[in-house]
Amino acid sequence: MVADDTLPTPQTSYGTQKLMCEQLIADCTRKGFIDGRAARLMTVTVRPGKPNAAASSFFSGIIREPLAGVESICPVDASVSHPVSSPARTVDGLIAVYEASRDALGGRLALNLPALNVTVREIAGRARGRRRTGGARARSLRARRSHRRHRRQLAQGRQRGACREAGLTPEASFADIVRQYIADCRARPDADITLKGLAS
């Protein structure tokens, strides 16, 4: 279980740089230069747009691309567990951390935003069904290809933090996150987003 007070032990330069920034924010706040907070974002999914080079990008890709009628590569085993959050819930968390008092945050400046802990298998399983993600056609567009970099960089575990105590919670299920993405796509007919793989 990863909590706000879990000792950070970065395994990548990316994580080390984030921890350096957290410590700088804490020191500047201690000296009274700023009133700072560091919000630790979980993997945001389903993100619109194109795949990118981030190790966690496939968490969006294995939903977004099949819904668009495009094959997607899943580079990890179905048993991989990871904390995820929808774009909307992530924005809610950032606003809440910005507006909260220091007392409400329990005296900590670096906080984990709430997330839904899911496995890759659950992402596929909870999103099944014609009314949810397009049924068999969309699911058939998911392929698996092992990649050592993803296995090494992605954290496995569960997450909890003070943001939950402040009233912020993740979605109830991954299906809710997928439904939110589909609704957002349909609400933006002018955007470069398609749902060709979505069953009617």
Catalytic residue positions?
14
Strands 43-44 and 116-119: unpaired
Give the residue carrying structure tokens 């329990």: 106
Length of the chain: 200
CA atoms within 13 A on the CB side of 82: 27
Give the residue from 72, 87, 83 showing the smallest Cα distance to 164: 83
DSSP string, 111-151: EEPP-EEEEHHHHHHHT-SHHHH-HHHHHTTEEE---HHHH
Give the residue from 41, 161, 170, 33 showing the smallest Cα distance to 108: 161
Give yes or no for a contact between 40 and 110, defined as CB atoms under 8 angstroms apart: yes
Specify burial of residue 189 (Cβ count, 10 A radius: 0-12, 13-18, 19+).
exposed
Furthest C-alpha separation in the chain: 58
